[in-house]
């Protein structure tokens, strides 16, 4: 504010170009008069005068009065100065006695006010000086007050109220101020206004109102009455009374129900002389008609009346139809009286009688009474009968509600008459509907129901029901408080806790059924592990729960079950738990941290064993409690209190129930941390700028935080302790909304630190921390795209880039990224000059500072050619010559190598011709397959894909072929050895979690000759199941093992590309398992869908043509080994299948082939019926028979083998649909397996051996690696010597020449079929490969595990100076695609709940081989001996290779993942799957290898220095001792 226009309102800060900021105490001027709150001390009394005083702080302790005659004083006043120290004061116009302060204003920016002050010539201003500033201060600022009371209550002696002008001003500025009551100088002289009546109804118009005004001047010029912006009319003045009329009809405010029943309007008196309102009062318009009930109407504070027969509220009782229907008092209203609980059982016809008063009798033409019940949102209307004015009854009706999760449902009840006239229900009476059997599944729960319900336990029905519904006379019911009120067969379902100390005191909670209805029934009748347990009344819930306190157990007692007798200990009244309660000995080990601030707040972690036993735990620091937080088996955490004894050590003790534990554990209270200095003492509104904090004892705080409070809101941020005296904090954001952020600095109301419970640093008094406005960036251009030449600097414009700190050295840490590359910055207040990196093309610009991230746009860097035309022509000529030379050389080379490539070209031409010939067939087949797959996968989103859960998936990868592995079951140990074995395994688990031991253990095992490849894989999988809950540690161990493996590989002079090629070490299998754990989410969200689509597509395409059910060969195949090499005549048919679960549902059309065996038809039918149902949840074909329904009740069971099966010269052919001559569109049904059908095989003539043999081959679910190399051998039936066949006899292959079968140059007809199948499936293969080899998947990020492991391999390559890109590429391919993806592609049953046939497996093997070839860096040259799968995908592999290279390149360019981020991710994965495996069983399985090689392992540990220091060999021997104890 400038000096000329300065007002003395405090909010307007200082004068003479001052800006917002804190007021300097020495530069504030205090103005005083009689009406302020604070007397001025040390002023000697003089004669009576008005006083106006100003002084500068600090007020001196010894006033000095100095007369001043340098300036004329106002009339009737004299001037004087007193002062001392750093400031001076002025006293003007009056005595020095009794002066009062009335205002403080800021005068100058900095420094004290000087003694030389002077008035202006007109005495309206005072000139005030400091060392650097001259300020002109107005003597008064009356205009800042807007009301008479503010003006005259301020205490400023210069100000008064100019009544008709409605303004605060000096008297000489008020027109005609000398006339009576025109100028008020005392607060009692303010105008007061009242009106009568002060409220009217909105339906009353132009009512005469009388206004009475006090302290008004003469109003001869006239006045107007104004109702806010509604209406204005002339007022009639009669002395101090003014008469006005209320608004006309169209001007009355609209009052709707939402706004209540009234509206307050300000009524103003406006002077016609000045045109200004000079007085006002409140006036109320009310609307009775918004009230819809009698009670709310007559209870209104306004003149509202209820018309009973019209059911309306009005201000005019004359509008009621009948005078007797006019209600004035609440007690006269029609209303229901309070009723006791209205109980109505569901589905029981019953009337509901209600007491009431003043019920109106419906008049002629009016309808009668009804009851309206609102049940679960649905209204139910029931006719009602009015007996008299005080009684009404809802007629006989039955009621019900949905669900069994609530036993009693309160239902709103409303009584209405004449359609919608409701009777008031002030007591809010409700009807309680109830079901006896809801939530009362047991006898005890039934009998403890409300006795008024009338529920009994019906023995015959064995459920809870109404007494009148229990009709079994031979078995009476049980009821509460009846002769039969005791439930039999009590049951215990849950015990908590299951372990406790022998000393007793543990509160054991026993939950179950029928546990008595009264406390006395179970009092003294509870035993836990043969120890008396005393029930406590407060924990007893009848029938459901007993809480009892354990007594003391003997040392010989270890465990036992819980026994409860209800009333008496007869078998039918006894309950015994199936779980055991164990006595344990809690022990303490150590605590961390061992010191903390004397103010408390430290989270202390105490470790030991069996610390989760018992029900109640308390921790004492000497004689002070440490507040318990939580606990586990080996730890307890608590929060320390402020020390009562000051600094020093205190003894730590722990009590678990009545067990008292004390070890030499001590906690030291040390001096609270202090904060000495902040550097810098500023930030920006968004925070996140570094602040270096200096202090003492900062290292004793576990989680230090920095805080700022502003306008009642608090923000905090993190700090990192660097040393006992230093920590680095990120400034908190100023808690201020973006819309309210100003362009001026702000100081927080509080600024400090959260250091445990240390209160002294929560709000620092010695800091002047200030927040500056955030930097603001402007867009690079209007379009958002800035075009530049290479090397040109990028200028980012904006403001607030340099905070205006006091020292002028405030710098923010900006970072600007062009694309992904940072640029060098030069910063000024309004510009960032960015030296652009060497880039071309379009790149996003991203600026970061503090907590802000902003993109001002995109830069487009395009280069112009800097060369002249001559230079370009010269270069072009030289280039042309060079190209000519290269062409000549190439021609020479081509001629030389032409002969060797002739075969390849011929083969390529043959492939091209074949592909073009089958292209149309492929196109049609693909379109048909796409339609089938779309139908199959239309609901794959969500639950459609039958993913295995995490446990099943990991078990199939880690332990393939093993269905029920021990790691999924509880440890099976004889009872007498259980405690010892568990101790041993816990100790062994601690050793496994010791990195030195684990590495030594693995290395020792791998060095043993008897430790097979199978053992290596098994140990790796078992270790990963144990470490599932500690994946950070598992990753650390894995990295060390891989590093060792790389070192070993390079030392043994093996080619680096062989690394990770085969599973020859524990590390390689652990790597597979590591990816298995961490890529499950990626499989479910991204890669699973295309893999499942490929599997379905292969299965569908294979089943379109014949498949030999014995050999697994098919007409459509990707694998040459599984191709039917002869022409099979077949026809596609449709059979209409009746749904096995619902015969009335529509028939399902299923496509089959007439050459399908009956088993194949059954499988296809089951696939159609149970589409998208997991395979394990389906019915199995082997459990069903196929029934052909021929009409007129004729039903034939079709089977693969029966009495009609044809046998020719020792060959028995399986029955097909064509064998039974089943026509197209026949009706079939799957029925449960018959024991003997009319056409079944006679067991005495033909054996079933061969059938079961080929069924087993088809349903083989183990690892399919061996399937490709194994053609199922068709061996003669042992009893009859008959061989079974389907489409192809085995000798038909055996009779071919060896050269024909073995040659890889496939004959044209077979290659055509392979190509047709490949072309049909091409899109599905492409989709899968593209998903796997892409770094962006539907917006989700690349899995962290892949980036992290690839970076680790690059680090290892750098460490060993391996710069060959082919080696690095091969390492990554062996690490992820070969170890994980090939396994998943070949075995989709590891991921999905599906069945994989041998032909599907063979095709997936070809896809997996192609996948492996795509990841290889070596060139595959085609020749006549090339495998058929390489010929099939010869054209595609180069494209796939480019995808792989781009994928690896994209990953390498991504920002590295910090160990902190990776550990956080691993910890989250561990937490999600912590309890998937039984760690005790896993440890037991691993220990079996210790037993086998214990001497070698102990020897290795004794030779290792670190292991020797940690006494690991001794600990292992302890484990061996525990595990081998026989007693």
pLDDT above 50: residue 26: no
The count of other CB atoms within 10 Å of the CB of residue 1477 is 23
Residue-wise pLDDT for 1369-1396, tens only, equals: 998 898 888 888 999 999 999 999 899 8
Distance CA 611, CA 614 (A): 8
pLDDT score for 47: 31
The pLDDT assigned to 640 comes to 94
**1308 pLDDT tier (thresholds 50, 70, 90):** low
pLDDT (0 to 100) of residue 1126: 80
Task: Determine what percent of the chain is predicted with pLDDT higher than 70.
Answer: 82
Considering 149-163, 491-505, 723-737, the range whose residues carry the highest mean pLDDT is 491-505
More confident residue, 851 or 287: 287
Average pLDDT of the residues in 275-296: 92
Beta-carbon contacts of 550 under 8 Å, excluding residues fewer than 6 positions away, are 500, 504, 505, 506, 507, 508, 528, 531, 533, 657
Which position has the higher pLDDT, 1464 or 1144? 1464
Is it the case that residue 935 has pLDDT exceeding 60?
Answer: no
For 163-219, write each residue's pLDDT tens digit.
999 999 999 889 988 899 999 999 999 999 999 999 999 888 889 999 999 999 988
* Average pLDDT of the residues of the chain: 81
Task: Give whichever of 170-174, 548-552, 837-841, 1264-1268 has the largest mean pLDDT.
Answer: 548-552
pLDDT bin (cut points 50, 70, 90) of residue 560 is very high
The contacts of residue 1470 (CB under 8 Å, 6+ apart) are 1028, 1029, 1030, 1031, 1032
The pLDDT tens digits for 146-168 are: 999 999 988 888 899 999 999 99
635-639, 1008-1012, 1150-1154, range with the lowest pLDDT = 1008-1012
Average pLDDT, integer, range 859-887: 80
DSSP H or E run through 878: helix 869-937
> Which pLDDT score is estimated for 299?
92
Does residue 1294 surpass a pLDDT of 60?
no
pLDDT in tens, 661-716: 988 899 999 999 999 999 888 999 889 999 999 999 999 998 999 999 998 899 99
Residue 1307 confidence (pLDDT): 52
Q: What is the pLDDT at residue 547?
A: 96
pLDDT value for 743 = 79
Q: State both tokens at 1402.
A: 């063979």
pLDDT at residue 103 greater than cutoff 90 = no
pLDDT at 446: 92
Identify the band that residue 92 occupies on the pLDDT scale cut at 50, 70 and 90.
very low
pLDDT of residue 690: 92
Angle at which helix 975-992 crosses helix 1013-1026, to 10 degrees, equals 90
Is the predicted pLDDT of residue 36 greater than 70, yes or no? Answer: no
Q: What is the pLDDT of residues 888-928, one digit of tens each?
A: 888 888 776 765 566 666 666 666 655 655 555 555 555 55
- The pLDDT of residue 46: 31
Interhelix angle 950-958/1013-1026, rounded to 10 degrees, is: 150
> What single DSSP character describes residue 331?
G
**3-state SS, residue 679:** strand
Phi, psi values for residue 161, rounded to 5°: -105, 120
Q: Are 584 and 634 in contact (CB under 8 A)?
A: no
* 268 has a pLDDT exceeding 80: yes
In the predicted model, is pLDDT for residue 262 greater than 60? yes
pLDDT of residue 692: 94
Q: Give me the mean pLDDT over the 627-653 stretch.
A: 92
Mean pLDDT in residue range 378-397:
93
Indicate the SS3 state at residue 1315.
helix
Task: Give the integer Cα–Cα distance in Å for 280 and 266.
Answer: 6
Contact 856, 845 (CB under 8 A): yes
Whether residue 1217 has pLDDT greater than 70: yes
Q: What is the mean pLDDT of residues 987-991?
A: 90
* Higher local confidence (pLDDT), 1264 or 815: 815
When mean pLDDT is compared across 64-68, 657-661, 705-709, the lowest value belongs to: 64-68
Whether 1432 has a pLDDT exceeding 90, the answer reads no
Residue 873 has pLDDT above 60, yes or no: yes
Q: Which pLDDT score is estimated for 384?
A: 95
Segment 1217-1224 shows an average pLDDT of 89
Model confidence over 1123-1158: pLDDT tens digits? Answer: 888 888 899 999 999 888 777 788 889 999 999 999
The DSSP output letter for 1299 is H
> Own/partner pairs for 709-713, CB < 8 Å, 24+ apart?
709/735, 709/748, 709/749, 709/750, 709/751, 709/763, 710/734, 710/735, 710/736, 710/746, 710/748, 710/749, 711/735, 711/736, 711/749
> Whole-prediction pTM value?
0.47
The pLDDT of residue 72 is above 50 = no
Beta bridge partners of 562: 528
Q: Would you state the pLDDT for residue 1318?
A: 87
């Amino acid at each position: 504010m400038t000096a000329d226009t300065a007002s003395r309102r405090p909010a307007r800060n200082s004068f003479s170009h001052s800006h917002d900021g804190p007021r300097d105490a020495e530069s504030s001027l205090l103005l005083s008069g009689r009406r302020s709150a604070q007397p001025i001390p040390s002023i000697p009394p003089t004669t009576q005068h008005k006083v106006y005083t100003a002084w500068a702080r600090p007020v001196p302790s010894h006033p000095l009065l100095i007369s001043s005659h340098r300036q004329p004083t106002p009339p009737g006043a004299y001037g004087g100065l007193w002062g001392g120290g750093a400031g001076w004061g002025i006293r003007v116009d009056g005595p020095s006695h009794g002066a009062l302060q009335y205002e403080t204003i800021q005068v100058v920016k900095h420094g004290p006010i000087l003694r030389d002050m002077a008035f202006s010539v007109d005495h309206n201003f005072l000139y005030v000086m400091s060392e650097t500033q001259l300020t002109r201060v107005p003597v008064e600022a009356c205009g800042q007050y807007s009301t008479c009371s503010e003006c005259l209550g301020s205490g400023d002696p210069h100000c008064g109220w100019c009544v008709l002008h409605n303004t605060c001003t000096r008297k000489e500025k008020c027109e005609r101020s000398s006339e009576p009551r025109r100028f008020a100088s005392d607060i009692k002289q303010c105008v007061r206004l009242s009106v009568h009546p002060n409220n009217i109804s909105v339906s009353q118009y132009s009512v005469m109102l009388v206004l009475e005004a006090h302290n008004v001047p003469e109003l001869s010029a006239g006045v107007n009455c104004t109702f806010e912006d509604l209406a204005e009319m002339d007022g009639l003045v009669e002395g101090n009374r003014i008469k006005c009329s209320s608004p006309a009809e169209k001007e009355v405010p609209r009052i709707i129900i939402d706004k209540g029943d009234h509206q307050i309007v300000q009524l103003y008196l406006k002077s016609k002389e000045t045109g200004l309102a000079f007085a006002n009062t409140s006036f109320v318009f009310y609307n009775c008609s918004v009230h819809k009930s009698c009670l709310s109407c007559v209870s209104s504070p306004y003149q509202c009346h209820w018309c009973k027969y019209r059911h309306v509220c009005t201000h005019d009782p004359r509008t009621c139809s009948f005078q007797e229907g006019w209600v004035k008092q609440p007690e006269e209203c029609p209303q229901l009286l309070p009723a006791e609980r209205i109980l109505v059982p569901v589905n029981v016809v019953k009337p509901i009688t209600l007491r009431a008063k003043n019920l109106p009798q419906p008049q002629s033409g009016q309808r009668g009474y009804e009851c309206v019940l609102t049940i679960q949102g649905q209204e139910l209307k029931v006719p009602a009968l009015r007996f008299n004015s005080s009684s009404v009854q809802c007629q006989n009706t039955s009621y019900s509600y949905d669900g069994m999760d609530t036993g009693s449902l309160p239902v709103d009840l409303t009584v209405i008459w004449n359609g919608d006239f409701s009777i008031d229900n002030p007591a809010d009476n409700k009807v309680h509907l109830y079901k006896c059997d809801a939530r009362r599944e047991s006898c005890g729960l039934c009998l403890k129901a409300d006795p008024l319900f009338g529920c009994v336990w019906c023995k015959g029905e064995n459920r809870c029901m109404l007494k009148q519904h229990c009709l079994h006379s031979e078995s009476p019911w049980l009821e509460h408080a009846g002769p039969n009120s005791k439930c039999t067969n009590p049951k215990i379902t849950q015990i908590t806790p299951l372990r406790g100390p022998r000393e007793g005191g543990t509160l054991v909670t026993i939950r179950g059924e029928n546990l008595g209805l009264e406390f006395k029934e179970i009092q003294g009748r509870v035993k836990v592990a043969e120890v008396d347990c005393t029930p406590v009344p407060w924990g007893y819930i009848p029938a459901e729960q007993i809480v009892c306190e354990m007594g003391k157990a003997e040392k010989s007692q270890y465990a036992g079950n819980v026994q409860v007798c209800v009333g008496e200990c007869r078998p039918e009244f006894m309950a015994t738990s199936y779980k055991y309660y164990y006595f344990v000995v809690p022990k303490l080990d150590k605590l961390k941290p061992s010191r903390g601030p004397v103010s408390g707040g430290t989270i202390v972690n105490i470790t030991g064993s069996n610390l989760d036993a018992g029900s109640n735990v308390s921790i004492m620091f000497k004689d002070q409690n440490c507040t318990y937080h939580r606990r586990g088996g080996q730890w307890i955490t608590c929060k320390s209190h402020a020390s009562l004894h000051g600094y020093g050590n205190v003894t730590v003790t722990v009590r678990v129930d009545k067990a008292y534990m004390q070890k030499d554990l001590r906690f030291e209270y040390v001096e609270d941390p202090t904060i000495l200095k902040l550097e810098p003492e500023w930030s920006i509104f968004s925070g996140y700028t570094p602040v270096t904090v200096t202090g003492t004892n900062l290292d004793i705080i576990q989680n230090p935080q920095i805080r700022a409070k502003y306008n009642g809101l608090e923000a905090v941020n993190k700090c990192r302790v660097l040393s006992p005296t230093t920590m680095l904090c990120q400034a908190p954001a100023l808690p201020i909304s973006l819309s309210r952020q100003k362009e001026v600095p702000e100081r927080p109301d509080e600024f400090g630190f959260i250091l445990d419970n240390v209160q002294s640093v929560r709000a620092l008094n010695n800091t002047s921390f200030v927040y500056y406005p955030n930097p603001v960036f402007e867009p690079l251009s209007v379009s958002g795209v800035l075009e530049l030449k290479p090397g040109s600097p990028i200028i980012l414009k904006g403001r607030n880039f340099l905070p205006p700190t006091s020292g002028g050295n405030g710098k923010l840490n900006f970072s600007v990224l062009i694309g992904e590359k940072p640029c060098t910055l030069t910063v000024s207040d309004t510009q960032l000059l960015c030296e652009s990196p060497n880039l071309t093309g379009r790149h996003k610009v991203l600026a970061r500072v503090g907590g802000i991230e902003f993109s001002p746009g995109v830069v487009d860097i395009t280069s112009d050619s800097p060369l002249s035309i001559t230079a370009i022509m010269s270069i072009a000529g030289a280039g042309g010559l060079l190209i000519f030379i290269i062409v000549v050389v190439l021609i020479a080379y081509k001629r030389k190598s032409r002969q060797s490539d002739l075969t390849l070209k011929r083969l390529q031409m043959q492939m091209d011709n074949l592909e073009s010939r089958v292209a149309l067939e492929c196109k049609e087949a693909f379109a048909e397959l796409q339609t089938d797959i779309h139908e199959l996968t239309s609901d794959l989103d969500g639950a459609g894909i039958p993913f295995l859960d995490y446990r099943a998936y990991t078990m199939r990868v880690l332990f393939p072929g093993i269905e029920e592995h021990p790691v999924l079951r509880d440890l099976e140990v004889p009872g007498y050895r259980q405690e010892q074995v568990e101790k041993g395994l816990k100790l062994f688990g601690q050793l496994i979690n010791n990195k030195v031991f684990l590495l030594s253990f693995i290395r020792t095992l791998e060095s043993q000759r008897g430790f097979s490849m199978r053992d290596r894989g098994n140990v790796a999988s078992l270790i990963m199941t144990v470490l599932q809950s500690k994946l950070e540690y598992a990753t650390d161990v894995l990295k060390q093992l891989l590093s060792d493996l790389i070192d070993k590989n390079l030392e043994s002079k093996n080619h680096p590309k062989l690394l990770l090629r085969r599973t020859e070490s524990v590390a390689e299998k652990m790597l597979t398992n590591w990816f298995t754990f961490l890529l499950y989410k990626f499989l479910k969200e991204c890669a699973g869908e295309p893999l499942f689509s490929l599997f379905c597509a292969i299965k569908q395409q294979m089943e379109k043509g014949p498949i030999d059910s014995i050999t697994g060969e098919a007409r459509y195949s990707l694998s040459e080994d599984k191709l039917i090499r002869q022409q099979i005549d077949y026809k596609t048919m449709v059979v209409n299948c009746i749904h096995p679960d619902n015969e009335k549902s529509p028939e399902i059309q299923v496509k089959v082939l007439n050459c399908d065996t009956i088993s194949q038809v059954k499988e296809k039918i089951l696939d159609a019926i149970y589409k998208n149902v997991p395979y394990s949840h389906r019915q199995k074909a082997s459990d069903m028979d196929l029934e052909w329904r021929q009409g007129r009740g004729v039903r034939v069971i079709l089977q693969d083998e029966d009495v009609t099966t044809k046998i020719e010269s020792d060959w028995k052919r399986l029955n097909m649909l064509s064998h039974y001559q089943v026509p197209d569109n026949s009706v079939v049904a799957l029925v449960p397996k018959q024991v003997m059908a009319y056409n079944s095989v006679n067991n005495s003539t033909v054996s079933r051996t061969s059938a079961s043999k080929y069924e087993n081959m088809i349903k083989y679910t183990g690892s399919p690696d061996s399937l490709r190399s194994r053609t199922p051998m068709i061996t003669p039936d042992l009893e009859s010597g008959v061989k079974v066949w389907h489409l192809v006899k085995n000798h038909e292959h055996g009779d071919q020449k060896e050269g024909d079968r073995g040659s890889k140059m496939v004959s044209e007809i077979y290659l055509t079929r392979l190509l047709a199948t490949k072309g049909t499936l091409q899109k599905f293969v492409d989709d899968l490969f593209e998903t796997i080899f892409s770094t962006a998947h539907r917006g989700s990020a690349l899995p962290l595990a892949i980036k992290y492991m690839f970076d680790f391999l690059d680090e290892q390559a750098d460490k060993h100076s391996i710069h060959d890109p082919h080696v690095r590429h091969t390492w990554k391919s062996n690490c992820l695609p070969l170890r994980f993806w090939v396994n998943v592609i070949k075995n989709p049953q590891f991921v999905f709940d599906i069945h994989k046939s041998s032909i599907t497996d063979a095709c997936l093997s070809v896809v997996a081989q192609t996948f492996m070839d795509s990841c290889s860096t070596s060139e595959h040259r085609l020749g006549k001996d090339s495998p058929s799968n390489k010929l099939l995908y010869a054209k595609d592999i180069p494209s796939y290779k480019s995808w792989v290279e781009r994928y690896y390149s994209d990953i390498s360019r991504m920002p590295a993942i910090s160990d902190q981020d990776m550990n956080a991710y691993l910890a989250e994965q561990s937490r999600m799957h912590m309890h998937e495996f039984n760690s005790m069983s896993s440890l037991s399985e691993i220990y079996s290898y210790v037993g086998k090689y214990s001497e070698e392992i102990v020897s290795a540990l004794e030779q290792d220095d670190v292991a020797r220091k940690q006494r690991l060999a001794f600990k292992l021997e302890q484990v061996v001792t525990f595990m081998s104890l026989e007693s």
